[in-house]
Structure 1
Amino acid sequence: MKVGLYFGTFNPIHNGHLTIANHLAEHSDLDQIWFVVTPLSPFKKKSSLLDNYHRLEMVYLATKEYDKLKPSDIEFGLKQPNYTIDTLTYLFEKFPNHHFSLIMGEDNLKSFHKWKNYELILENHSIYVYPRLSEGKIETQFNNHPKVIKVDAPIMEISSTFIRNEIKEGKNIRPMLPENVWHFIDEMNFYK
């Protein structure tokens, strides 16, 4: 089975994440997309993060009606801060018959050379890269790499940061979130 790993804090997951993941599930050779909820990214401050299990619950709520989209808490048991190479090694041991690829935005590809063991990741895994409008045309050392697959996915410029800020300001952001995720956030009084 070919699985695309879509890493993120998903704080919260929104319709942009779902649109990109579903597009890849329907228009690539990937059989499933796993939303890997990151407990603590080496590049993000922990203070603005909701509890791991609340974010996992939102991903579950957002994906439960999609056969090819799955929530994953695989990183919750790994030491923190966690690096992608460690997760990939763990997944390979746990699911030896699966082939794992990464999914990332063009903006992340720009700094991919700074990732721990990035050469090893590229040696063993493909990377599906979706476009980001705000970045314009990005030139990186990976542009013509055989393992880097540019995907003609819809350009989604919704950010979790924007959503959190809008909620804090008391704005209605309901159209940007899956309905059941919006209800969960509202019910739990998150981000206020």
Structure 2
Amino acid sequence: MPIMDFLTESHTAMLRHEVKLYAEIFVNAQGERQYISLESNNIALFVSYFDNTAYNSFFFSCYPLQDITRIKEFGYFYDAPSSYSIEVNGGRETDKSRELIQMRMISKNPNKQIQSFYRTFQRNLKNISGLQKHTQKKYYYLPTEKIIIPANPHSQNTRDHWEDFCLSKIERVE
């Protein structure tokens, strides 16, 4: 589904469960990260990060981001925050293709609040008009004329901005 629709659908569940949404952007080739939160009144700005070559992923979380220095150093998914988070990959879109959006619970023992949000949001997504389940795979999709590509930057089926960014980093290191 288009990322704008995905984010719009998530908004009600986010408010109900007090969950926030963040994009992870790489600041430099050394892997320093910046976390940008979704402001409810500016979904279009958040969607624009998907076109940024430094965009890595986004995630839902109910973990308070007070110790941003530790998170920047180790990444968001180190010990404590992982129990409060859902990682989301994909969402890039061009005029010819749309990348699948894949959600993944990080922790084997997730926080009850994030677990409840995850269940609610999945239920809400399945109720979208026109949504169909793939006959052989375990995903849902909205029909489109575009080629659906996996939410995997290493896929051989696509050469999107993220891969170009990674390849340019490798070339600079050598």
Q: TM-score when scaled to structure 2?
A: 0.35
Please identify which structure carries the higher helix content: 1
Higher strand share: 2
| Higher RCO by CA contacts (8 Å cutoff, separation 6 or greater) | 1
Q: State the TM-score, normalized to the length of structure 1.
A: 0.33
